Amino acid sequence: MKKAIISALLVLAIAGCKATKTYPDPLPGSHSADYSSVFGRLQRIAPKNPDNPSIWVVRFGLGSEPYGGQFALTPPEKLIFSHCPQDPQWQLTDAPLTQQQFVQQPRVPHELFDMGVAVPDLRAAMSTPGFKDFVKFYSHPSTSTFIVAVPVALYLQAGTPQTFEMKSDDYAAITLYNGVKPQPFQKEGNVFRLTANLQRGPAKIAGTLKDEPSRYHTILEYSVK
């Protein structure tokens, strides 16, 4: 007796993802009409009728870019930062974007999502007058460090109090480097907090692992104007 084989590969079909258009760099959703990959990327299914839009399927994979490669498990409000279906209904969001709005969005580093930054916080920062880009993220060894509340904009105003709050199970200390004197975060359990008036110049947030107390790993960097 023949048995049917059911694939465990999770597939999400998105109709008409602008197959003939290449989104401008550095949008992570940039692709051409023949862009194709099996895992964690878009794969094109050519239409039988050339007048119809192509179908792009998003396959769940184990890739690392962007958003962990898990497109099929990425909530619509996050996926819209990288891919925009031509038909607004397939954006699956309460407020669909136009193609122009999508292209004009700043690129969101997927690490911000990994560290727990909420979409409303990103949208709020983007709507702030003078917003240009998001905070710079550095690859670091911690796997259990998350953002509770920090400014997500890259450029901050000098002399204005800024509050930073993070959680970490493997950093023994987190410190702000801005100006001459380092400013350590106050630690309560696994929560680190600091409110500081920043000086002009770079402002870096770095952590030290429990087994490497003399080595600092940069996590975030701001530019203070």
In the chain, % of residues over pLDDT 70: 68
| Pairwise pLDDT comparison (220 vs 79), residue with the higher score | 220
pLDDT computed for residue 104 by the predictor: 86
* Contact yes or no for 199/179 (Cβ under 8 A): yes
Strands of the sheet containing 42-45, edge to edge, are: 11-15, 55-59, 42-45
* Contact yes or no for 41/65 (Cβ under 8 A): no
DSSP state of 214: T
Can you give the pTM of this predicted structure? 0.68
Is the pLDDT assigned to residue 26 strictly greater than 50? no
- Spell out the domains of the chain, with CATH numbers in brackets: 11-105 (no CATH), 112-224 (2.60.40.10)
Is the pLDDT assigned to residue 56 strictly greater than 60? no
pLDDT computed for residue 54 by the predictor: 42
Select from 144, 186, 152, 189 the least CA-distant residue to 168. Answer: 144
pLDDT computed for residue 90 by the predictor: 78
Sign of the CA dihedral 141, 186, 117, 125?
Answer: negative
Is the pLDDT assigned to residue 47 strictly greater than 50? no
CA atoms of 114 and 100, how far apart (whole Å): 27
Name the average pLDDT for the chain: 75
R_g (Cα) of the chain, nearest Å: 21
CA atoms of 23 and 185, how far apart (whole Å): 41
Select from 107, 84, 81, 97 the least CA-distant residue to 26. Answer: 107
Is the pLDDT assigned to residue 20 strictly greater than 70? no
Q: What is the mean predicted confidence (pLDDT) over 52-65?
A: 42
Is the pLDDT assigned to residue 202 strictly greater than 90? yes
pLDDT computed for residue 174 by the predictor: 97
pLDDT computed for residue 81 by the predictor: 84
Phi and psi dihedrals of 196, rounded to 5? -145, 150
Taking residue 58's Cβ as centre, other Cβ atoms within 10 Å add up to 22
pLDDT computed for residue 113 by the predictor: 87
| Pairwise pLDDT comparison (11 vs 117), residue with the higher score | 117
Is the pLDDT assigned to residue 94 strictly greater than 50? yes
pLDDT computed for residue 189 by the predictor: 95
DSSP string for 33-79: TT-B-SSSSEEEE--SSTTSPPEEEEE-----TTGGG-GGGS-HHHH
pLDDT computed for residue 72 by the predictor: 53
